[in-house]
Chains A and B, each alone.
Chain A
């Protein structure tokens, strides 16, 4: 796998900032349909750095699929600039576009494998297409390496219809990597897969990013996908990017309602109103929502030496960008002054506390 892709020019977390690989500058795209115009992409400006795993999240119809298709010019922008590898995409002719596209891999929700060709012929196809590898044997050897990389070399001579969804997506990834692209576009690549297979495929995309240095752009409607793999995320709503930044930062300081909604559905850590009412009825004491701030919640240290009971009644803590993230709802019992001390200690450890209220 040594020549699978150009070596990572700059690791994402080294001192030198990685160079830009994709750049959107005030990009607009409108579709004219029989039911009127749809502004799929509205004034989007964003920058993706080499070596990043960049997530674009939004509900269906938010414009994220269009946005990603602007990168390899499967869709043409109406206005604005799009640069890929420093090359202005919007002005390229058909021939140059085809060359650009062969340097950008793409995988799809429905896999889009060629059903008439075997797995290995699917993977070798981009090589046949760009004509760089002349002999069929050499193409097959390269395809076999890729199938080994994605872990389904035993299915090389099967047809796509004989594979499971997860296996199909592995073939899709191998095929997308065949021409050693610097960028991999993943369009809802895990949306048709079950949760366990989703994790496997996301882990594989992570390996593609780390081991091959491929910049990965992931389109998804699932915040858990972003949470699992993305360094940075852009949240889209109605064609516009409403919030973007490093994943942890966006999770921790979500401002836009759409972002909060996504986080809430991914984590399910904060009790909804009906749950709060039930908790109040069932637990005495004060209900406090404690949210992480970059590290875990030191509950033991917070209550040490105090005559305070702290019972966790709701919540979830998970990992975002390898940092603990989430919130717990805790029922505190004991003297008010001592509870206040415990809460101050939690805040000192970086947590955010918010009273949900005292039991009636």
Chain B
């Protein structure tokens, strides 16, 4: 703890404070944009994975298999490789090959895949009797999925998204490789490359603080919605 404070103090004394603040801003921007878009797309994909599976509300084997294959293929690719591999597509979609926009595009794709699994797992954990109760009341399948199942799975979903935040933060650091800025770039260019470990540790300190805050927030929110 002391070490991290010393690192921050040294970063300040070495005149990197402005750069650090800017890096924090870039990181938060990338993470927020990715979570917003990827989190929503992943929610839809996760609902689709859950609903199209065997015995699901919208049982559809071909669609399930296709989605499942897509998620299983993209998710395990190391992000640094994926990031560089999708460059042509990134340029086609965003018009940039470097910078924040260029980084956010592959991050959104991977985030969508990861979210879809988290959402699927949270929903699989709900009691199938809930679906039956909703259907027996005359609720449509879509209604059951969106308005009955999501509230039932809210606590694991919140914890899942908090977990996801950390994964996206991790990805954003690697986005430094294509000049997206952020804490990853900061640590590499001012710390590692200049043999200034204090600067590297300063970015570490910031990341630890951010993660702790988000996780604590997620935990308390999940506790509040969990009535089990």
Q: Is the CB of B130 within 8 A of A74?
A: no
A12 to B187, CA, bound (A): 82
Q: Is the CB of B136 within 8 A of A114?
A: no
Q: Is the CB of B132 within 8 A of A129?
A: no
Q: Is the CB of B137 within 8 A of A114?
A: no
A112-B133, A116-B227 as given contacts; A129 in contact with B127, CB under 8 Å? no
Q: Is the CB of A130 within 8 A of B129?
A: no
A30 to B123, CA, bound (A): 28
Chain B 128-140: CB-based contact to A (< 8 A → 1; otherwise 0): 0110110111111
Q: For A341, what are the chain B residues with a Cβ–Cβ distance below 8 Å?
A: none
Chain A 63-107: CB-based contact to B (< 8 A → 1; otherwise 0): 000000000101000000000000000000010011111101010
Q: What is the size, in residues, of chain B's interface with A at 8 Å between Cβ atoms?
A: 19
Give, as a whole number of angstroms, the nearest-CB distance from A188 to chain B: 12
| Among A112, A126, A161, contact of B132 (Cβ-Cβ < 8 Å) | A112
Q: For B127, what are the chain A residues with a Cβ–Cβ distance below 8 Å?
A: 110, 112, 115
- For A108, A114, A130, A179, the residue with the greatest tally of chain B CB atoms inside 10 Å of its CB is A114
A112-B130, A116-B225, A116-B227 as given contacts; A99 in contact with B138, CB under 8 Å? yes
Q: For A125, what are the chain B residues with a Cβ–Cβ distance below 8 Å?
A: 137
Give, as a whole number of angstroms, the nearest-CB distance from B133 to chain A: 4
Is the CB of B148 closer than 8 A to any CB of chain A? yes
A129 to B143, CA, bound (A): 9
A143 to B45, CA, bound (A): 36
- Is chain B's interface secondary structure helix, strand, loop, or mixed overall? helix
| Among A101, A110, A159, A161, contact of B129 (Cβ-Cβ < 8 Å) | A110
Interface footprint category on A? 20 to 34
Q: For A112, what are the chain B residues with a Cβ–Cβ distance below 8 Å?
A: 127, 129-130, 132-133
Is the CB of A117 closer than 8 A to any CB of chain B? yes
Chain A 290-320: CB-based contact to B (< 8 A → 1; otherwise 0): 0000000000000000000000000000000
Q: Is the CB of A101 within 8 A of B138?
A: yes
Is the CB of B154 closer than 8 A to any CB of chain A? yes
Q: For B88, what are the chain A residues with a Cβ–Cβ distance below 8 Å?
A: none
A97 to B135, CA, bound (A): 10
A328 to B91, CA, bound (A): 90
Is the CB of A160 closer than 8 A to any CB of chain B? yes
- For B139, B143, B152, the residue with the greatest tally of chain A CB atoms inside 10 Å of its CB is B139
Q: Is the CB of B138 within 8 A of A114?
A: no
Is the CB of B228 closer than 8 A to any CB of chain A? yes
Give, as a whole number of angstroms, the nearest-CB distance from A85 to chain B: 14
Residue of B whose beta carbon sits closest to that of A99: B138
A160 to B148, CA, bound (A): 15
Q: Is the CB of A74 within 8 A of B228?
A: no
Give, as a whole number of angstroms, the nearest-CB distance from A224 to chain B: 25
Q: Is the CB of A106 within 8 A of B133?
A: yes
Chain B 76-97: CB-based contact to A (< 8 A → 1; otherwise 0): 0000000000000000000000
Q: For A110, what are the chain B residues with a Cβ–Cβ distance below 8 Å?
A: 127, 129
| Among A101, A111, A117, contact of B137 (Cβ-Cβ < 8 Å) | A101
| Among B132, B138, B152, B154, contact of A102 (Cβ-Cβ < 8 Å) | B138
- For A97, A112, A126, A179, the residue with the greatest tally of chain B CB atoms inside 10 Å of its CB is A112
Q: For A111, what are the chain B residues with a Cβ–Cβ distance below 8 Å?
A: 129
Chain B 5-49: CB-based contact to A (< 8 A → 1; otherwise 0): 000000000000000000000000000000000000000000000
Q: Is the CB of A106 within 8 A of B136?
A: yes
Q: Is the CB of A126 within 8 A of B138?
A: yes
| Among A101, A114, A126, A185, contact of B135 (Cβ-Cβ < 8 Å) | A101
Q: Is the CB of B135 within 8 A of A108?
A: no
Give, as a whole number of angstroms, the nearest-CB distance from A157 to chain B: 12
Is the CB of B99 closer than 8 A to any CB of chain A? no
| Among A74, A129, A130, A159, contact of B227 (Cβ-Cβ < 8 Å) | A159
Q: For B151, what are the chain A residues with a Cβ–Cβ distance below 8 Å?
A: 114, 116-117
Residue of A whose beta carbon sits closest to that of B153: A116
Give, as a whole number of angstroms, the nearest-CB distance from B176 to chain A: 40
Q: Is the CB of B138 within 8 A of A98?
A: yes
Give, as a whole number of angstroms, the nearest-CB distance from B141 to chain A: 8
Residue of B whose beta carbon sits closest to that of A159: B227
Give, as a whole number of angstroms, the nearest-CB distance from B56 to chain A: 15
Tell me which residues from 119 to 165 in chain B have a Cβ below 8 Å from any Cβ of chain A. Answer: 127, 129-130, 132-133, 135-140, 143, 148, 151-152, 154
Q: Is the CB of B138 within 8 A of A108?
A: no
A245 to B135, CA, bound (A): 31
Q: For B148, what are the chain A residues with a Cβ–Cβ distance below 8 Å?
A: 114
Q: Is the CB of B227 within 8 A of A161?
A: yes
A114-B152, A116-B154 as given contacts; A130 in contact with B130, CB under 8 Å? no
A125 to B127, CA, bound (A): 18
Give, as a whole number of angstroms, the nearest-CB distance from B144 to chain A: 10
Q: Is the CB of A129 within 8 A of B138?
A: yes
Give, as a whole number of angstroms, the nearest-CB distance from A56 to chain B: 17
9 sample A-B contacts, Cβ–Cβ < 8 Å, listed by A number: A74-B132, A74-B136, A97-B138, A98-B138, A100-B138, A110-B127, A112-B127, A116-B151, A126-B138
The 7 closest A-B pairs by CB, nearest first: A102-B138, A112-B129, A101-B138, A159-B227, A112-B133, A106-B136, A98-B138
Inter-chain pairs besides A110-B129, A114-B152, A130-B138, 5 sampled, C-beta below 8 Å = A108-B129, A112-B130, A115-B228, A116-B152, A161-B227
